[in-house]
Chain A
Amino acid sequence: MATQDIEPGSEQMLEKDTRETLVTVVRHGLLLLWSFIVLFPLYWLASMSLKPPGQANSLPPDWIFLPTVFNYLELVQQSDFVGAFVNSLVMVGASVILVLLIGVPAAYVLSRYDVPMERDILVWILSSRMLPPIAVVLPFFIIFRELNLFDTRIGMVLMYISINLSLVVWVMKAFFDGIPETLEEAARVDGATQFQGFMKVVLPAAKPGIFSVAIISFIFAWIELLFGLVLTSFEAVPVTLFVYSFIGSRSIEWSMLAAASMSMIIPVAIFLIAVNKYLAAGLSFGVVIKE
């Protein structure tokens, strides 16, 4: 804006300049308004988790208070919470590793080979995302009881894989499409097998894609409630179910509930910020990176 020199006496220029200033002011006004809408609920939850239990619900609210980690300490002493948190970390983590092992090689094949009916296969893969989880979990609830997989971490890992496989295949196919084939051809000329070419040349080049899709898969599994609700009762309870049963308890300890929710949100928020550059590519199933 500063590049537009205003010549003395040029009213038109001056008018344009005021208009641009006005646009800028309105733009930032609206953006600040949305920033407030985004931040206030998060601030409120965080502040409630940092208030001593008796002070959490006082109205008018105590805007100024002495923050305390009391609620978090109480929470960590609850073996239910720690167990659920660890469960979620282990189950979601394992599911992400497995879904990458299953999905990334498949995406590579779909990207590099002439697979018959490729479009139909891709839509079929996407359709696994269209199936409502409740319709998927019903049969698995019955089968898991037969197979003794009910309320086990293994069973939950399998279900978490089902949420993310379509995402991994689609995004990674798009990433592989963007890596020139000449790279592998050069490696093959040097005597590498197709597999070695994939491991040593293609995978390193696709690292950002793998990284972002891993984190997005982690998030989608981490926030999932239904599978925990239906398929676990005690041993394999995920942290979402812990928070849910907390809401359901008769006498709600608001500040503890806030602390439990915050400890679920913080790791995900850090992940989101870490991959924010690749988020669009991952969330759009790989469509955006083609631009």
Chain B
Amino acid sequence: MSTPTQTETSNSQGLGRLSDLWNEYLPYWFIAPMVLVMVSITFFPGAYDLYLSLIEEPTTNIFAAEFAGLDNFRTAFTRGGAFHSFVITVTVVVSALALESLLGFFLAALVAGVDDSSSIKSFYRVLFILPMAVAPVSLATIGRLMLNTEVGIIPYVINSATPFASPAFLSDMPLLTVILLDTWNWTPFMFIIFYAGLSSVPDTLVEASRVDGAPLWRRYVHVIIPYMKPVVFVATLIRMIDLFRTFGVVYGLTQGGPGTATQLVSINIYEQMFINNQVGVAAAIAVVYLVFVIAIANIVIAKVGFEGVWD
């Protein structure tokens, strides 16, 4: 009779000690897995890229590795076309970011101004987010279907409905095509965040500026945008970071071509690694790209600051 009771007691004591440990150090248990994963996806790849970029032949045995100095970096920026791909990337990021921000804000302002009572307002809001459902590789499919010089609908319409001959989008103006496709894909991202930001501007603030008789654009520049500055800042920052990650749509659409006309840095690294088998060169470009993107993002964060975003 007494034995099971005793076991039970000692058991619950053991469990009790465990649960004390659990409760006492709860924040540590809670945050440890995240820190572990975060270290392995930030410090580890960065350090490993650096290691690969500094050695001759890739090997996991550090002691057998032959130090190559900056040879890989030199190759990357001479024969590797790294500089060219940085120019292409910055062009795409800057133009797409500008187009998506302006268009997203414009659309958000247009929708925000629609009468609240009409259900068409929420119709627009839902409809305009749909392009985000299209994966980059599906967008490449759509681009190839619609822009194909022989069977595409867009060249067909241009040729038959306008006096102009349609350009061959993917070979004559690949970069612009990529930028416009990305704009179609991701303007919704800016739209939805800006729309939420605009909706949070108190009516009294807008009314007051209206009474002042300020013209529309001044109301936006001096009253509304400053009020929603944190929102504008975060949306632009995150979209910029994500634009530097672009790969799928371009790789599916042009594979970086024709020639190297749309060779983003990410495509250049991929090709150095998996087509030219130049692991060191690929890693060297990756290291420069890593530093480049993190530096830009941190400069933006430091310049604009997170005031109003945090506390």
Separation of A284 and B237 alpha carbons in the complex (Å): 10
- Interface contact B30-A105, CB-CB below 8 Å: yes
Q: Which label, helix, strand, loop or mixed, suits the secondary structure of the B interface?
A: helix
- Interface contact A226-B38, CB-CB below 8 Å: no
- Interface contact A132-B31, CB-CB below 8 Å: no
Seed contacts A27-B110, A226-B248; 11 additional CB < 8 Å A-B pairs: A31-B110, A42-B131, A42-B134, A132-B245, A133-B247, A165-B34, A225-B248, A225-B252, A244-B140, A258-B145, A269-B133
Is B219 interfacial (CB 8 A cutoff)?
no
Q: Mark B286-311, 1 if CB is under 8 A from A, else 0.
A: 11011001100110010000100110
Say which residue of B141, B195, B265 sits within 8 Å of A261 (CB atoms): B141
- Interface contact A280-B289, CB-CB below 8 Å: no
Contacts of A222 in B (CB 8 A): 135
- B150 CB to nearest chain A CB (Å): 8
Chain B, range 132-159, C-beta contacts under 8 Å to A = 132-138, 140-142, 144-146, 151, 153, 156
Is A73 interfacial (CB 8 A cutoff)?
no
- Interface contact A133-B266, CB-CB below 8 Å: yes
- Interface contact B33-A106, CB-CB below 8 Å: yes
Contacts of A59 in B (CB 8 A): 151, 153, 156
Say which residue of B49, B113, B130, B306 sits within 8 Å of A139 (CB atoms): B49
Q: Which residue of A lies closest to B266 (CB)?
A: A134
Is A243 interfacial (CB 8 A cutoff)?
yes
Of A4-12, A108-116, A148-156, A179-187, the segment with at least 4 beta carbons within 8 Å of chain B is A108-116
Of B64-72, B121-129, B165-173, the segment with at least 4 beta carbons within 8 Å of chain A is B121-129
Q: Which residues of A pack against B, CB within 8 Å?
A: 1, 27-28, 30-31, 34-35, 37-39, 41-42, 44-45, 48, 57, 59-61, 101-103, 105-106, 108-110, 113, 115, 119, 122-125, 127-136, 138-143, 146, 161-162, 165, 169, 193-195, 219, 222-226, 229-230, 240, 243-244, 247, 252, 254, 257-258, 261, 264-266, 268-269, 271-273, 276, 279-281, 283-285, 287-288, 290-291
- B55 CB to nearest chain A CB (Å): 12
- Interface contact B145-A44, CB-CB below 8 Å: yes
- Interface contact A132-B137, CB-CB below 8 Å: no
Contacts of A223 in B (CB 8 A): 135-137, 248
Is B96 interfacial (CB 8 A cutoff)?
no
